[in-house]
Amino acid sequence: MGKRLYAIIGNPVLHSRSPLIFNYWFQKRNLPAIYSRVLATDLDSALNLCQKLNIQGFNVTAPFKAQILDKIADLSPEVRVIGATNTVIRRDGYLSSFNTDVNGILGAMLWGAQQMNKVPALVIGAGGAACAAIYALKKLGARISVINRTNEKARQLAERFGINFWEFADLKQAVRQSKLIVVAISENTDLLKPEWLSCEQILIDANYVHTTLPTIAAEAGVYYIPGTVWLEQQARQSFKIFTDEEAPALPDNLVHQNPYSGRLRNLALIGFMGAGKTALGQSLAQRLRWRFIDIDNVIVHNSGRRISTIFQKYGEAEFRRLETSALQQVLRSKNQVIACGGGIVISQHNRQLLQSKTTVIYLHAHPQNIWQRIDKTDRPLLHGIHSLNDAVRLYNERQDFYLSIADAILDTEQMSINQATELLHAEINNLL
């Protein structure tokens, strides 16, 4: 692994636009680093993969922001007060945590401390983002109230921070009595009504996916600050923590881009041999009701020759040419789960095709842990893999290629095919 690796963990996480932001900054600062997403059903699985891949730092999103604190010894002062983290770095083998959501809310408000003094502010929600918003608003002297669908959670939060509490049944009244409204919940559909709002209010959205607040704010004439502003502001502080460098300016439209525009309807599984691409691909295709395509099978069908025959008689260069041709052919169609050969990423052209035409999932499995399930009777020997050491060498040579084009990483060492299928099915459905 030549580049430093960073990521975001959560469930769901495939929707995150953080990789767009961080990879742009890494490129602008000429830093040898990659930022990706870690797919996991639970916190322990996510942390295990972070350790395996030596991920140097990661952002944390729901539902892990509070859960993870029990795993971290070094908590920053704001994390101790808020009770949640969204930024973690690895130092000398230990994890240290920070909360840059505070920077997100401060940057999103665009107000100075004097302007917020005694201003009535309502925070809707009771999770990590809501706690960060309350923490930031208290520093600015706002008069804060909290409300949540679960009244008890809001009541506990009010007692903890020494702020006011509203019953959820009184949401309309709470909104009307507030100058600043921070909506810090993931699902805000039909939460607010335009008639509750006035043009004198400010509405801050913590969510930038599946939100109806822009439409509601426009109808009510409210000054609306989208979740992408919060996202960028907290990411800037995370970047500083990760790299000790200031983040450069972002293009105006970057945080508003759909990361999967034009490529969501094809899912490519990449990874080393034995990682489970075929088994998972078949299972997931059936679950999504898409076609399953194995690139090697397309090569065999098109050439009329076995893979081993192509290697032995014509060499690897000819096989790679046929592989690229097969990939181009397959990508003319949609609604497919595509199992790619382990070496497809060697070609820069193939990497560009996969990045531009598919959602790429890197199935991670280290040869040392899956050596017994690797088929050693056919192609592996053609790559010069005669031992575990040979396999590890080849894995290391390809690792950066896998990571550089992956939209997300899934650890198949610690997850069954059924578990991986359900996780990916849920993540894809969340995007469709």
How many CB atoms are located within 10 Å of the residue 230 CB? Answer: 28
65 is catalytic: yes
Give the chain's largest Cα–Cα span.
80
Q: Which of 3, 28, 52, 65 is catalytic?
A: 65
Q: State the burial class of residue 153 (Cβ atoms within 10 Å of its Cβ: 0-12, 13-18, 19+).
A: middle
C-alpha 26/C-alpha 46 separation (Å) is 23
Strands 74-75, 94-98: pairing is parallel
How far apart CA 423 and CA 417 sit, in angstroms, is 10
Could you tell me the CA-to-CA distances from 429 to 264, 336, 363, 423, 424 in Å, in that order? Answer: 10, 14, 19, 10, 8
Give dist(CA 212, CA 55) in Å, integer: 35
Cβ 274 vs Cβ 383: under 8 Å: no
**Token pair 């993969």 in the structure block, residue:** 49
Distance CA 105, CA 297 (A): 51
Give the type of residue at 277: K
Give the active site residues: 65
